[in-house]
Structure formats: C-alpha cells, structure tokens
Structure 1
Amino acid sequence: MSAKPYRDNVGALLFNGAGLVLVARRADMPNAEGAAGGWQLPQGGVDAGEDLRRAVLRELAEEIGTDKAEIIAEHPEWLHYEFPPELAAGGFRIAQRYRGQRQKWFALRFRGTDADIRLDADPHPEFDAWRWARLEELPALAVSFKRAIYEELARAFAHLAAR
C-alpha cells in the first residue's frame, strides 16, 4: 500500500435537458493507439478549505469554460481510485505526488447552450474534444482505473438520466 495520500477532488455529471451527460477527451493521456484518449467527466482538485459545491462549479468553469449549471444531486459517499504506477513513472505530475483521488461527485443540470462549452477557455486546456453521452455509456468510455467509479455513478444517478 502506498504511503502517498489521496488527493481531494470533486467531479461533475453535467446533464443536459435530454438527460445526457457531458464527457470530454483528455488531451494529455494517450489511448492504446497512442492518440488522445481517456474520455472522462469533468473533475478537479479541491483547494484547502474550499466549499465542495463551489469547487465543482469552479472546476466546470476551468475545464469546460462554463459554470452555467445548478447542482441537483450529490453522491452520499466519497469515492476513491488509485493511479496505476505507470502514470507516475510516465511523468504524470499528480500521480507522482498522490496515490489516487478521493472524490465527491455532484450531478448538475446544464443551464446553457452547447456554444457555452469552451474547452479553450483555459490557456492550458485539459480536453481536446467533448460530447453528450448516455449515462450507461460512461464505464465503457472510462480509462480502466476509473471504471468502477463510473459504474457506481451510472447506478447512483440513473434516475436523472434520459429514459
């Protein structure tokens, strides 16, 4: 077991009016073919003393360029995942400092339009593409070390998804 701590983190399931969820493709994590890959939900670190609800809206603004959302649900538990050793060995900075992430997940209703989603809003964008997906697709889109969390999120927030 690693002596490194978990990093506190918030995650967002951003639902549009049709009950679909925003997923974005990481620009810095290659897939098996060496191209950009790693589809994921917006997520990010929590600053010391930061309110979790404010943190998730801040992360949306930083990662996808908009905070036009309202929180509609919160997962009751903190969920954890561990980084695979090859991420730290490959220079992935966060994986060098932390063993994994301890996450508080929120479901949010998107109150904007697709034009409000701006991956280029940050000078160092984390994502290079985004799309709306069915909630049940999440586990298959996720990198393997996040898959169990995405399965739990799909179960826990199924009542908010499109039928």
Structure 2
Amino acid sequence: MIDVDGYRPNVGIVLLNADGQLFWARRVNRDGWQFPQGGMRTDETPLEAMYRELEEETGLAAHHVEVITATHGWLRYRLPERYVRRHQRPTCIGQKQVWFLLKLVGGEEALKLDANEKPEFDIWRWVDFWYPAAHVVNFKRDVYARALRHFAPLVEELFGVEIGTTPPRADADTPAGGPRTGRAAA
C-alpha cells in the first residue's frame, strides 16, 4: 500500500529495557542495524501493525511489553534514489511511520529473533538512547532523531536520567552501551 505521495505506511518500534537502554538489531545477511519496523496492511491500525511487527521481528507478544506512547501523525523519510523502484506502480519513494515507545515488562529471554520462518534480524543488543540516531543507515538518521527527540522527555521521566534532546553526530565516538547481546537460534 503506497499513498498518493509515494510513501508506504509503516510503524517503527523503540523498545526499552529496565535500564532505559534500547533494543538494537542487525538485519539478516547485512551489516545494517536498526529498530524493528514494518509496513502496515490495509486492514490494520498502526497499533495492530506494531504488535504484528513486534512479534514477527522480535518474538515478543503484547503481554511482554507496555506501550508508553506513540508519535502523533506520520514521520517521513525518503529512500535514496538507488532504492526507488521506478518500474513498480505505484512508485514508493519512502516511508511514513508512526513510532511507538515500548517498555519490556518481562525478561529478555522472551526475545526470539527466529520466531518467524523468515527472520529479519540475526543478532541484537541493548544500546544507549542516542546511539541509534548516530549509527542507523544515513537516510534514516533524521527520522530516528525525530522519533527519539519526541520520546526523550518521557524516557527521562521514567528512568530519572538526563539524556537531553540532541543526538550526537554520526562521527562521534558514541559507546553502544550494555554488554548483553543475543542471537537468533542456529
């Protein structure tokens, strides 16, 4: 489903652990890391799409998370020209996303990257709040920063920490945070 402006409706998921770190995962057979995200079906609300994508990509069900908030309206990003498939109709030039901030309420053992027959991620880790905005693929950086800026005040309030509202530069030496990582089952 592509809208009249060429954007595919999509949801993005920012998942917090009990320490206020974010779930960060590597795409299967790629070196790219990102948040869980995925397209909406025509018969889904953003919330329904978020729960479906969450389960498909992380193995987490609704009872494993608490929905804290979502962005208001759509946040958009354009695809680089090399990724636009001009021969397809309608042509998709980018994604428009509703972003959700979730908190993991159970243990991280519930994370199962191979819950779906076609896993999208093969490894995950917990990272500091602004890390993804500086390390996601370049064309998604602005939308990540906008979503995280929207969520930053709530995360500060929930965890009693000061994270600020400005992501670090991409070339800054930003530590990934947390020592824990997980893999899909072999």
Show the counterpart of 1:26.
27
Show the counterpart of 2:134.
140
1:115 aligns with 2:116: no
Q: How does 1:11-160 map to 2 (within 5 A)?
A: 11-28=12-29, 36-67=30-61, 68-88=64-84, 97-159=91-153, 160=155
Q: Decide whether the 8 Å contact of 1:69 with 1:111 is kept in 2.
A: yes
Q: Could you say which structure has the larger radius of gyration?
A: 2
Show the counterpart of 1:31.
none
How far apart, in 2, do the equivalents of 1:27 and 1:4 lie? 30
Q: CA deviation at 1:88?
A: 4.4
Structure 1 alignment gaps of length 5 or more: 29-35
Higher-RCO chain (CA-CA 8 Å, sequence separation at least 6): 1
Q: Decide whether the 8 Å contact of 2:40 with 2:49 is kept in 1.
A: yes
Q: Could you tell me which amino acid in structure 2 is paired with residue 76 of structure 1?
A: H
**Superposition TM-score, scaled by structure 1 size:** 0.83
**Superposition TM-score, scaled by structure 2 size:** 0.73
Size of the aligned set, in residue pairs, is 149
Q: Could you tell me which amino acid in structure 2 is paired with residue 127 of structure 1?
A: F
How far apart, in 2, do the equivalents of 1:153 and 1:131 lie? 20
How far apart, in 1, do the equivalents of 2:24 and 2:73 lie? 22
Higher strand content, 1 or 2: 1
